[in-house]
Structure 1
Amino acid sequence: MPAPQTHYFEVDVQLSGFSKAYTDVKLPVWAPGSYLVREFAKNVEGFEARAGANKLTVEKINKNTWRVFHPKAKDFKVHYRVYAYELSVRTSFLDASHGYVNGTSVFMYPAENKDLASTLTVQPAPGWTQVSTSLLPAAGGVPLTFRSSSYDELADSPIEIGNQKVLQFTANGTPHTVAMYGAAQYDEGRLLADLQRVCEEAHRVVGQNPLDRYVFIVHNIERGTGGLEHLYSTTLSVSRNAYSTEAGYKGFLGLVAHEYFHLWNVKRIRPVALGPFDYDRENYTHMLWVSEGFTEYFSNLIVQRAGYNTPQGYLADLSNSITRVENTPGNKVQPVSESSFDAWIKYYRRTENSNNSEISYYDKGELVGAMLDLMIIHETKAQKSLDDVMRYLYTRYYQQLKRGFTDAEFQDAVAKVAGRRFDEFFRTRVYDVQTLDYQTTLGYAGLKLVTTPVTQDAALGAEFGTTGGKITVRTVARDGSAWQGGLNVNDEVLALDGGRISDDPNKLLTGRAPGSVVRMLVVREGRVQEITFPLLPSAAQRYRIESAGNATAEQQAVLNKWLPVRN
């Protein structure tokens, strides 16, 4: 990175012992953990190859593959530049303040030899003194030189380069490093103590520690964007002001718990499709609701179990999750299994109609996890839980069989732990769109779900935005008043009931009774037209989990097993 302000990494790859006449060199098209083809090769420039002083012939044979002809040389060198100026946990970034390498967007590999070991040397920009990564130092003690056993390990070990603050703590006997980039105000002692506590609580779920080191790379920026998991590390993108409020700090700990729990769920406990990876194309699975949804579910439990949330606070948060899912029209359209499978074309490519046709495998998967957990606890008389399912999957498939599990094998694992099968639940609630039976399931723990209308007023069922002084339709909710009445996304609204408007029409319609008729003057494709339609009742509901009262001993045992309070 000789000129970091230009955002270019300079990459040299030395390949040795390749005896064929040519070698295909590839760059992945996606980053594991982020299910979207991102076409990283679009950022590559100046690809060339040499054997000694001789320049070799290179032919690009498809979007992410370069064919290097070296008929008389077993050893050759490849050089290229990578433009890196997208600061996210899924991509790479370089500017005058720091560099961040997410391996799949920077490092190429020989197509037929992905399993070869490699050595990496990092040359920081002048004045930069820190390199933080989970890669182990290479033999020989050469500074800033690291080793990886395969391309998968190299690609799965992000690197932070600059002058980041490096902190240390130990959890479950394992050294943990925290590389903090960016200016942020936090209590260092409290931060490290809380990270240790969250990590140790996460370890209790599966009960086995696969780590000999772990690295948190934390980007403290204006607006955080989440995290991405790796085998021995994670990258967290955090709003730099998150530490200054209790809600923000709790959110940070929740993000830590989520990405940290991924070191078991996804990186080791995984569907068969998620490793070994095919870096050239989509890797399809119906089970991201387990990989991501269950991780979200357990991360919230971990925060509660660690004492950063009360059982009542957890139930309030779960109530909000139910409200969010059940008020999303797409929940009645797209099964959570299909949401998982279609993540590649839908989840990261949202449109104005996404809420009408899709449901998040994060959000719905969390609720499936909660209901399944309560069902297992109930069936086993509070002796087993979803924790035991994760333990079984870890032991059986990661440790013994050294592979991922199929959809059917996951259901078999649940049945083994619960002592009965839940085939009907999976068929109707996971692979179809039948509403989760919250009342029955929560009832196992002496709880009930109370539903109240968000409002008694009518609702327009559309959202608006203002650009250049024009009020335009951004979204239209399925089966709502605007949907039925023919209001379209991108319509510019000029007038409501004969009066010129300068504000969101929803504000102007507050208090209108269902059945009242509205007249909207809109501009569509340059033509002015009037749309008249009746307002329908608001379909939005608010969900709240409450005690059902007079809990039996069996119900109390289920609740205690589900939401224990640590001393």
Structure 2
Amino acid sequence: MSNPAYLIYRVRPASPQAHLFAVELSIPNPSAGSLTLTLPAWIPGSYMIRDFARHVVRLAAEDASGTLVPEKLDKQSWHLARVRGPVVVRYAVYAWELSVRAAHLDTTHGYFNGASLFLRVVGLDRVPCRVELSPPEGQEYRDWRVATSLARRGAEPFGFGGYEAEDYADLIDHPVEMGRFRIVPFEVADVPHWLVLTGRYHADESRLAADLTRVCGQHAALFGELPIDRYLFLAMVTGDGYGGLEHRYSSSLLCARDDLPERSEGPPAEGYRRFLGLCSHEYFHLWHVKRIRPHALCEADLSREVHTRTLWAFEGITSYYDDLALVRSGCIDERAYLGLLAENLSRVTRNPGRRVQSVAASSFDAWTKFYKQDENAPNAIVSYYAKGALVALALDLTIRRETQGGRSLDDLMRALWARFGRTGRGLGERDIEALAAEIAGRDLGDLFDRALDGTEDLDLAPLLADVGIALRLRPARGPKDLGGLVDAVDEGPPPPTLGIRLQPAGTDPAVLNVLTGSAAERAGIAPGDTLVAIDGLRVTRDNLAGLLGRAATAGTVTVHAFRRDELMTFAVEPQPAPADTCELRLIADAAPGVLARRAAWLGQAEVGA
């Protein structure tokens, strides 16, 4: 079959009330033969099989001779036999997943990622694509606009109409938002950027523009160039949302309205730091994963899992730089940054799974373990985001130590950009390790063996001491205690604990996780049990710690709980809470050389340094 000059996709929100997008795919002038159409099973950047084709409601096709009968080949593919002349395929997609990965449509807005909406024509992956976006029918939608990083082909800025993509891979790398939204424009290195906010919120938009300019500018300074001519943040604002997905010229964000800055706000509050960190994370991906790409994911088969051990680097290093850019850009101060660092260390240290799964294995098994977590996840897995960020910290401080401050992780990132980002070469499974040794001037196999393939805790204390920061672990003082930066050590006896975590929602104290080796596990308490009483006194979410503290002086306590509809009784010996909460402290009498190393680490990146 000869390739047509282009493929045409027409998208219309056909029924916002029923959450249905109507899509029409035109394949001009294919030669006689057959066509196979397929929809991706996963979306790049989110490593789980999502089976987007399950949302295709109906599919029909016709060519010059009339109606074609599509034959379903598998869960996501259709075959059209004996095709003659131009082919038109029409189908509807149900869109009711409010996330950054799929599609969502109602009477307030429409959103989609191309992987969930655009059929791929097998064998025509390199053919240019044209996209026609239409608004819903009806006067109530006359003020809707469009926000996408797709290249415009006839459409006005933020308008419905014609767009284009280089090929299918480019087509599905530009999410689309349509509806009523506000636009916050800003520039980075003379490149236009926009933050598009959909949903109800009250925020200081001028502060958002100023802070995002600084954060994005910091990343551009690190790499020494900004390889784009436009960039778009698409943010859906909800009551309690959080999430992001990177693209080459844009990113999709889901955020809580309370995380946006108020007009009277001084230093960034916790929620606003979280939002800035999310934007920072996805923007860093503009270089690291979208252009510096793992070889395994270049030309990836979107119909099945594609495994790589390198997600620790692509997500972990990005997770390290997302908060580091906030302090380097001046959006937060040194103390706030070190508090965030301590909290991340606590999150890793308090999960027994870090002793079971290495961060490289976590990367490889992301499809079936990290993205499909169950009640045993804290005991079985480690996050390649969170521990990967600690590996990046260890690597950064190790390179600085080995080179007496002459080189750093910044230099490694610039080398990755020069050798893999600009050239388009896929990064091999061990290329980062080899390049890091080159930057450090010595073999770092011992560090990588322990950090990537081992399950022992990273020895961060001496590395942090090199920059004047003391680290210690202490017992948590409550379920929300993640440690942080302190000015003085506050010793105290460890509180008693059952070794459980409760469901985050609901009024009853239902058990979410039972940690390996805990008092609850030994007594037989299980995930899903709902606690009723301790030593005859009713348990609530608020009084659990207090009841346990008073009753634990007797040694063994009696815990009543419902398992399904059966009342269970357990004899439990509470244990002292483990030392799994990180505190960092600035060393007061640090030498001038130590303080200089800290300033170099947390200071702004120099272009081409």
Length-normalised TM-score, structure 2: 0.88
For the Cα contact (< 8 Å) 1:460–1:506, is it kept in 2?
Answer: no
Q: Match of 1:277, as an amino acid?
A: A
| Residues 226-235 or 445-454, more deviating | 445-454
> Of residues 461, 477, 492 in structure 1, which corresponds to 2:515?
477
CA distance in 2, matches of 1:496, 1:466: 20
Task: For 2:203 and 2:404, locate their aligned partners in 1 and report how far apart those are by CA, in whole Å.
Answer: 44
Distance in 2 (alpha carbons) for counterparts of 1:129 and 1:468: 37
Q: Find the partner of 1:166 among 172, 183, 191.
A: 183
Which position in structure 1 is the counterpart of 2:431?
409
1:360-399 equivalences in 2 (<5 Å): 360-399=383-422
Say yes or no: does 1:341 pair with 2:364: yes
Secondary structure of the 1:24 match is strand
Cα deviation for residue 434 of structure 1 reads: 1.5
Match of 2:540 in 1: 503
Aligned residue among 11, 32, 48 for 2:44 = 32
Asked whether 1:229 is paired with 2:246, we answer yes
* Counterpart residue number, 2:173: 156
* Secondary structure of 1:479's aligned partner: coil
1:134 aligned residue:
149
Do the aligned residues in 2 keep the contact of 1:99 with 1:160 (CA within 8 Å)?
A: yes
Structure 2: where are the runs of 5+ without partners?
1-12, 478-493
Matched position secondary structure for 2:296: coil
Moved more, 76-85 or 419-428: 419-428
Q: 1:331 to 1:515 in 2, by over 3 A?
A: farther
Pair 1:275 & 2:298 matched? yes
Partners of 2:414 and 2:554 lie apart in 1 by 55
Deviates more, 1:480-489 or 1:256-265: 480-489
Once residues 339 and 189 of structure 2 are traced to their aligned partners in structure 1, the CA distance between those partners, rounded to angstroms, is 31
Q: Does 1:251 align with 2:268?
A: no
1:36-435 matches, within 5 Å, as 36-52=48-64, 54-71=66-83, 73-126=84-137, 127-138=142-153, 144-243=161-260, 244=262, 246-247=268-269, 248-400=271-423, 402-435=424-457
Conserved? CA contact 2:362–2:384, under 8 Å: yes
Give the residue type in structure 2 aligned to 1:67.
Answer: H
> Structure 1 residues 361 and 511 mapped into 2: Cα distance closer, same or farther (>3 Å)?
farther
The one-letter code matched in structure 2 to 1:116 is: V
Give the letter for the 1:100 counterpart: Y
Counterpart amino acid of 1:436?
A: L
Kept in 1, the 8 Å contact 2:155–2:161? The answer is: no
Q: Give the C-alpha shift of residue 315 in structure 1.
A: 1.3
What secondary structure, in the 3-state scheme, does the structure 1 residue paired with 2:295 have? coil
- TM superposition shift of 1:281: 0.8
Distance 2:385 2:119 in 1: 31
* Paired residues of 1:148 and 1:154 also in contact (CA < 8 A): yes
> Per-residue CA shift, 1:509-554, capped at 9, x if unaligned?
1245578112234454655553223222211433222234543454
Q: 1-side partners of 2:334 and 2:131: how far apart? A: 47
Question: Match of 1:236, SS?
Answer: strand
Contact 2:135 2:160 in 1 (8 A): no
SS state at 1:345 partner: helix
CA contact (8 A) 1:27 1:105 kept: yes
User: 2:500 pairs with 443, 453, 462, which one?
Assistant: 462
Which structure 1 residue ranges, 5 or more long, are not aligned?
A: none
Q: Structure 1 217/53 Cα, relative in aligned 2: closer, same or farther at 3 Å?
A: farther
Q: Distance in 1 between matches of 2:507 and 2:438?
A: 61
> Secondary structure of 2:30's partner?
coil
Q: Which residue type is aligned with residue 133 of structure 1? A: T
- For residue 3 of structure 1, what is the amino acid of its counterpart? S
Query: Which secondary structure state, in structure 1, belongs to the residue aligned with residue 457 of structure 2?
Result: coil
Shift of 1:128: 4.0
> How much has 1:500 moved relative to structure 2?
5.1
What CA distance in whole angstroms lies between the structure 2 residues aligned with 1:376 and 1:78?
55
Secondary structure at the counterpart of residue 273 of structure 1: helix
**Equivalent residues of 1:166, 1:178 under 8 A apart:** yes
Aligned equivalent of 2:582:
543
SS at structure 2 position matched to 1:361: coil
Structure 2 residue identity aligned to 1:153: D
CA contact (8 A) 1:128 1:161 kept: no
Matches of 2:413 and 2:553 in 1, distance apart?
48
Give the deviation of 1:249 after TM superposition: 2.2
Tell me the distance in 2 between the aligned counterparts of 1:459 and 1:52: 72
Q: What is the CA-CA distance between 1:346 and the residue it aligns to?
A: 1.7
Residues 225 and 238, structure 1, Cα contact 8 Å, conserved in 2? yes
Number of the residue aligned with 1:486: 524
* Contact kept? 2:532, 2:561, Cα under 8 Å: yes
- Paired residues of 1:460 and 1:482 also in contact (CA < 8 A): yes
Partner SS state of residue 430, structure 2: helix
Deviations 1:197-244 (A, max 9, x none): 211111111112110111111112222222111000011112123223
Residue-by-residue CA offset, 1:259-282 (whole Å, 9 max, x unaligned): 111101110112212222211011
User: For residues 195 and 66 of structure 1, what CA distance do their matches in structure 2 show?
Assistant: 44
Distance in 1 between the 2:457 and 2:419 partners?
A: 32
Structure 1 190/529 Cα, relative in aligned 2: closer, same or farther at 3 Å? closer
Q: 1:470 to 1:448 in 2, by over 3 A?
A: closer
Larger mean CA deviation between 478-487 and 532-541 belongs to: 532-541
Q: AA paired with 1:250? A: R
CA distance in 1, matches of 2:575, 2:181: 55
Aligned to 2:487: none
The answer for the alignment partner of 1:534 in structure 2 is 573
Q: 2:259 and 2:339 mapped to 1: Cα distance?
A: 21
For the residue of structure 2 that corresponds to 1:67, the secondary structure is: strand
Q: How does 1:8-27 map to 2 (within 5 A)?
A: 8-19=20-31, 21-27=33-39
What CA distance in whole angstroms lies between the structure 1 residues aligned with 2:121 and 2:69? 16
- Displacement of 1:116 in angstroms is 1.2
Partner in structure 2 of residue 451 of structure 1 = 473
User: Identity percentage over the alignment?
Assistant: 35
Change (3 A) 1:493 1:164: closer
Distance 2:435 2:234 in 1: 34
Structure 1: distance between partners of 2:573 and 2:255: 45
Contact 2:525-2:570 within 8 A present in 1 as well: yes
Is the 1:457–1:513 Cα contact (8 Å) retained in structure 2?
no
Helix, strand or coil: the match of 1:204?
Answer: helix
Determine helix, strand or coil for the equivalent of 1:324: helix
TM-score (norm 1): 0.94
Distance 1:218 1:147 in 2: 23
Q: Secondary structure at the match of 1:489?
A: coil
